[in-house]
Structure 1
Amino acid sequence: MLRAPTHTIIRNNNLISNILHRRKVKMSQQIHSRRIEGLDKNIWIEFTQLTANHPVVNLGQGFPDFSPPNFVKEAFTRAINSDLNQYTRAFGHPPLVKILAKFFGKLLGQDIDPFTEVLVTVGAYEALFCFFQALIDDEDEKPVSGRLMTSADWVLDPAELSSKFSKRTKAIVINTPNNPLGKVFKREELQMIADLCVKHNVLCISDEVYEWLVYDANEHVRIASLPGMWERTITVGSAGKTFSATGWKVGWAIGPKNIVRHLQTVHQNSNFHCATGAQQAVAEGFVKEFECLGAPESYFTGLRQELQLKRDRLAAYLASVGLKPIVPEGGYFLIADISAVKVDLPDSTEQPYDYRFVKWLIINKGLSTIPVSAFYSSDHKKGFENFIRFCFAKEDSTLSKAEQILQEWNRTMLTQ
């Protein structure tokens, strides 16, 4: 049965539902090895190098190749020219934390204190890092993974999810809209998670970096807005995904001050600070969007509509060559089933089929993607060797080049 990816470790912001339990374990080399085993950290290095060494159309890495909106770029330029080039407040530039508190306070139905309940981080990655460094003890706690979704509609399995909670459970990590699946968690699913968190007194870290990229009739529900969840949830966001500026590395963690203060301690003693000019630009972007949220002129509205068209366009291209696209409900990514396409690849006992397929695609066709099994723990990797991930947050010209590659590939297959 096809299952959604779960992780035995925390890697980047591609999280589904890690559940962390309190267990007394000795921090030995064996534990280190087990935690690293499912990481596949070298894949990002390996495929980045392959992409750099071959002329490719890059639909692998998850960043747009189009520009952020002019109003935030212009705000960044103004910030630099007005000499916002030195340290600002360590936990977040005052204009940014104030508008984040106002903006998300409205969305969550909370009165958020900008100076104690908002932390600006170096991207969403650092927000996750601070949470785990602050609240998870490596020597006493470890993650427990489970297969939590079925293939039919990516719906959470209530019995299996419930079975992962116990008196030792400390936290759950969710990611919605999800990378790599593109699943948007339904309100009923999030309520089920919330009920378990309240019942077992469990913390929740909710990675919502793709919150504005929800397509069709789907709705993004913030779990911190559900009853009993604000006081136990850290919500993570990213200006990189919000304003299509992934290189600016401005993220945030929002939650109750009794939890956020621990993240602040880690942040202050590690990265300490995010670029002041970028924070000012993001602040001005949110001020502008606050006034037109949900309206046709909103950047978020336009971006969602534009990316939905790109999603549908790429799905049609892939289907035309026999790949089976799984159309996502949200996010940047589309997964395709490659099992119907036969490619003569060398056998390997060390690398899954999708790894070898992606290498072949880069070297022989000039198209870069990512193998989906890289997102799975070692226990579940074997069942996902027939899926690869494409990023459709690309310029139309980039997608057209990908279409040309796929059409030529299709003609080659027809003549064989």
Structure 2
Amino acid sequence: MVKMVGGKEVYVPLRPKVEGSLSSADWTLSAEELASKFTPRTKAIVINTPNNPLGKVYKTEELQMIADLCIKHDVLCISDEVYEWLTYDGNKHVKIASLPGMWERTITIGSGGKTFSATGWKVGWVISSGHIIKHMKTIFQNCVYHCPTAAQEAVARGFEREYELFGSPESYFQQLPAMLHHRRGKLASCLQSVGLQPIMPEGGYFMIADISSVKVDFNDDSTTDESYDYRFVKWLTKEKGLATIPVSAFYSPEHGKEFDKYVRFCFVKEEATLDAAEQILRKWSQGK
């Protein structure tokens, strides 16, 4: 999208601080590397917390580092926060727009599909200051033009209900992460039992796993020129009937090779689906 409007995209990847990382908290954004990318021509930065595919939830001090750079260079911050209600283990989502000096320069993105587990509705929103919103309304009017009214009404009803129940056990914002916390643990245990190393996510509903310790004899010559995680995912789908996503797909070409030993699993699934995935993995680990 940046390229389409004539901009130049610059990438800074999250990297694990330690070898054999076990948590998404161990993956960080280098302050020095990020700062080095800012120039007088830098217009905006895009961040994502809780992160997809990793599940990292940025801490206040990490967001403050980004905010300081945005203020110093007078840069807009586009913050994708669609998984804001899905955090685990006491991790709290912090909006970068809430930090001093950031409200007037931040566009916060939310999603009805992620908030209410209705991805197909494709209804979302942005929160920002008036001087930014007026320009976004102009763009929106000239590229999207209209929205699905019924889905908008459904999202509005969802928020009205949550407003009344907010903070109570009946609130969906509490029930959903509690349910997914259990399923996150179930998937992690399953992956560990077959020799894969899961990176425990602090938020979201995806989990990446390190597949570097698994030896696979690829028998598809058509994938020889592809990255390891792409080959692994195709092999796992064709030979074992289990679909995952190659993590290098989330990286730019210059960084993808650093992260081609990871694949992404999804744990926002029915128990029966997770059970079926577990059976596939166990049979594989037993050489069946």
Could you state the TM-score of these two structures normalised by the residue count of structure 2? 0.93
Kindly provide the CA deviation profile for residues 363-391 of structure 1, in whole angstroms up to 9, marking residues without a partner as x: 11110000111111111111222110001
Equivalent position amino acid for 1:319 in 2: Q
Equivalent position amino acid for 2:149 in 1: T
Instruction: Report what 2:9 is aligned to.
Output: 143
> How much does 1:295 deviate?
2.1
Instruction: Report what 2:81 is aligned to.
Output: 208
> How much does 1:350 deviate?
2.4
> What are the within-5 Å matches in structure 2 for residues 204-283 of structure 1?
204-283=77-156
Distance 1:279 1:273 in 2: 11
Number of residue pairs matched by the alignment: 279
> How much does 1:157 deviate?
1.7
* Pairing 1:326–2:192 present: no
> How much does 1:148 deviate?
4.7
Equivalent position amino acid for 1:281 in 2: A
Instruction: Report what 1:179 is aligned to.
Output: 52
Distance 1:149 1:323 in 2: 19
Kindly provide the CA deviation profile for residues 85-141 of structure 1, in whole angstroms up to 9, marking residues without a partner as x: xxxxxxxxxxxxxxxxxxxxxxxxxxxxxxxxxxxxxxxxxxxxxxxx8xxx51xx3
* 1:173 alignment partner, SS class: strand
> How much does 1:150 deviate?
3.6
Kindly provide the CA deviation profile for residues 241-272 of structure 1, in whole angstroms up to 9, marking residues without a partner as x: 00000111101111112111222122111221
| Percentage of matched positions with identical amino acids | 63
Distance 2:215 2:15 in 1: 28
* 2:8 alignment partner, SS class: strand
Kindly provide the CA deviation profile for residues 172-225 of structure 1, in whole angstroms up to 9, marking residues without a partner as x: 000000001110000000011111111111100100000000111211000111
Would the alpha carbon gap of residues 341 and 308 (structure 1) be closer, same or farther in structure 2, given more than 3 Å must change?
A: same
> How much does 1:321 deviate?
0.6
Distance 2:197 2:15 in 1: 20
Contact 1:148 1:160 in 2 (8 A): no
Instruction: Report what 1:169 is aligned to.
Output: 42
Instruction: Report what 2:69 is aligned to.
Output: 196
Kindly provide the CA deviation profile for residues 313-368 of structure 1, in whole angstroms up to 9, marking residues without a partner as x: 00101111111101101001000111111110146552101111111111111100
Distance 1:293 1:284 in 2: 14
> How much does 1:151 deviate?
3.5
Distance 1:187 1:287 in 2: 29
Distance 1:334 1:227 in 2: 32
* Pairing 1:390–2:265 present: yes
Distance 2:180 2:161 in 1: 21
Distance 2:277 2:17 in 1: 28
| Structure 2: unaligned runs, 5 residues or longer | 19-25
Question: Which one of 403, 407, 410 corresponds to residue 282 of structure 2?
Answer: 407
Question: Which one of 297, 300, 303 corresponds to residue 170 of structure 2?
Answer: 297
Question: Which one of 346, 367, 374 corresponds to residue 249 of structure 2?
Answer: 374
* 1:142 alignment partner, SS class: coil
Distance 1:273 1:293 in 2: 30
> How much does 1:290 deviate?
1.3
Q: CA RMSD in A?
A: 1.6
* 2:253 alignment partner, SS class: coil
> How much does 1:155 deviate?
2.2
Contact 1:358 1:369 in 2 (8 A): yes
Instruction: Report what 1:106 is aligned to.
Output: none
Equivalent position amino acid for 1:409 in 2: W
Contact 2:109 2:127 in 1 (8 A): yes
